[in-house]
Structure 1
Amino acid sequence: MVLAYDGTPFHGYAENPGVRSVAGTLREALERVLGHVVELTGAGRTDRGVHAAGQVVSFATRTDGFDPVALGRSLNKLVGPSIAIHSIDEVPADFDARFSATSRVYKYRVLNTPVHDPFRARFAWHVPQPLDLAALRTATDPVVGTHDFAAFCRRPPIAADGFSASLHRTVRHALWRELGDGLLEFEIAANAFCHQMVRSITGTVIEMGLGRRRAGEMLGILRSGDRANACRVAPPQGLTLWEVRYDGVKPRGERPVRRRFPPNPTQGFAVAEGSP
């Protein structure tokens, strides 16, 4: 299942007791339609206020012969205006939305104008001071490749055996582009991301774009492995999980035909770009 959501009203993707989450809203809708308990696996556990244009969720159903198009239409009527289901496909039983993914793409948008724009405030970080785009690009270059990103990630808890999860990740590309009207976009793709990695990198790079830190410091910060050497974490509203990629995953049948249906007209989302 490929879906998009405005993360503003949710306490993140992951389901937690007592708070509204994307996964909880989706699970309740699925269980209502399918008539049985459903366990969801999401490709990315987006934080509170973070959005998605191409989140992928996998689940198993005991319902034989269900129509994915009809299921999608039913779900879009139940999940509310902040979520849009774009497509549902049947996949092999061993497919896992999280662990089968080969890469993920995030985009972070910065509104670099003297005055904030209330119409874009939910989906961009407003930075009123002028930013040096060349410095942003120079500062971003060192993160491409395989590195230990401990300087830009929240440390995972120590396991019972005394070890913590590796923070080594492979960044395939990281680039800045101008979208016009003062809007800048940072796109980064990697095999996986650790907690707050994109927002931490963005926050540090923005400080360099403002001239508060030198762009040449980025490699040293990365190599230090010390979170204290990085700068502030960028706010969540500018970040969007844009795309999740998989190798060799096709719906069952002779051709990899993707079934699509119009989302709820009240939701106003475009079809997720680059859906797997």
Structure 2
Amino acid sequence: MRCALTIAYNGTNFLGSQSQKESKNTVLGTLDSALKKINIQTKIVASGRTDRGVHATGQVCHIDVPLYWSDITKLEHALQKVLPASILIKKIKIVDDTFHARYSAKKRVYRYIIKVGKSNPFEDDFITFIDEIDLFEVQKKIKLFYGTFDFKFFMKSGSDIKSTTRVIYRAFAYKHKDFIVLNFEANGFLRSQIRLMVGALLSLNEDEILDQLKCRVKHKIKPAKSNGLYLSKIKY
């Protein structure tokens, strides 16, 4: 029986989401250990990976479980009981056997959260603090990412992928209370692409961003910190 799990997690103390041979301190590694505690041996497939320190409010994984777990509410309670507080099972539902958390996904939505001012110990793990920001300029520049582009200049090296072209369906910025929220929706993202796009929005002008989008010039960009980034939703 195939199940889709929607999970949220605090990525602060995890070495990313993807399982690693040398460490179990990852989101999927921790989830795998929890499943084994309730006697479920299965491969966990996520919609995509998040880097060290990145959070999620709507990550989706699929697992195959024995039929005796057909009581999904019971499964959810049993699994949550053996998971740390840093991982929350938001929903479990039975899906068709053809469902694939990664390959069935149509769109992925990320948010990046910024706050102007001095950091504090209560928010520092979850928000990127900066000294100043011109929201109007950011709102103009973020629209440049809308469309289909080769993002090879907005990618961390070491990625093993067939294509660096991605489609950005939505890209906008807005203020919510004391926070600046940057929203990106695409068919997929490259390794560290969003952090590099945010870094560009905070340091480059419009012409320089266009240079990179059109692969003319690669400017020096410092990736935005991982703590402000959230995988917020997967659309199927």
Q: Same fold (TM over 0.5)?
A: yes
Q: Which residue of 2 aligns with 1:170?
A: 167
Q: Does 1:67 align with 2:76?
A: no
Q: Does 1:202 align with 2:202?
A: no
Instruction: Report the CA distance between 1:132 and its aligned residue.
Output: 0.9
Q: Which residue of 1 aligns with 2:211?
A: 220
Q: Which amino acid is 1:126 matched to?
A: F
- 1:5-20 to 2 correspondences below 5 Å: 5-19=9-23, 20=25
Contact 1:53 1:240 survives alignment (8 Å)? yes
Q: Which residue of 1 aligns with 2:49?
A: 45
Contact 2:43 2:64 survives alignment (8 Å)? yes
Q: Secondary structure at the match of 2:114?
A: strand
Q: Secondary structure at the match of 1:224?
A: coil
Residues 115-144 of structure 1 deviation map (CA, whole Å, 9 limit, x = unaligned)? 22322111111102x211111122211111
Distance 1:233 1:66 in 2: 44
Instruction: Report the CA distance between 1:74 and its aligned residue.
Output: 1.1
Q: Secondary structure at the match of 1:49?
A: coil
What root-mean-square deviation, in Å, do the aligned CA atoms of Structure 1 and Structure 2 show? 1.5
Contact 2:153 2:212 survives alignment (8 Å)? yes
Q: Which residue of 2 aligns with 1:263?
A: none
- Could you tell me which runs of 5 or more consecutive residues in structure 1 were left unpaired when the two chains were aligned: 159-163, 208-212, 247-276
Q: Does 1:30 align with 2:35?
A: yes
- 1:112-151 to 2 correspondences below 5 Å: 112-113=116-117, 115-128=118-131, 130-151=132-153
- Could you tell me which runs of 5 or more consecutive residues in structure 2 were left unpaired when the two chains were aligned: none
Contact 1:103 1:245 survives alignment (8 Å)? yes
Q: Secondary structure at the match of 1:243?
A: strand
TM-score, normalized by length of structure 2?
0.93
Q: 1:168 to 1:225 in 2, by over 3 A?
A: farther
Runs of 4+ in 1 over 4 A off after TM superposition: none
Q: Secondary structure at the match of 1:189?
A: strand
Residues 19-62 of structure 1 deviation map (CA, whole Å, 9 limit, x = unaligned)? 201001111111221x2421000012000100000000001123
Residues 72-103 of structure 1 deviation map (CA, whole Å, 9 limit, x = unaligned)? 11111111110000110000101000010000
Q: Secondary structure at the match of 1:121?
A: coil
- Identity, in percent, stands at 30
Q: Which 10-residue stretch deviates more, 2-11 or 15-24?
A: 15-24
| Count of paired positions | 231
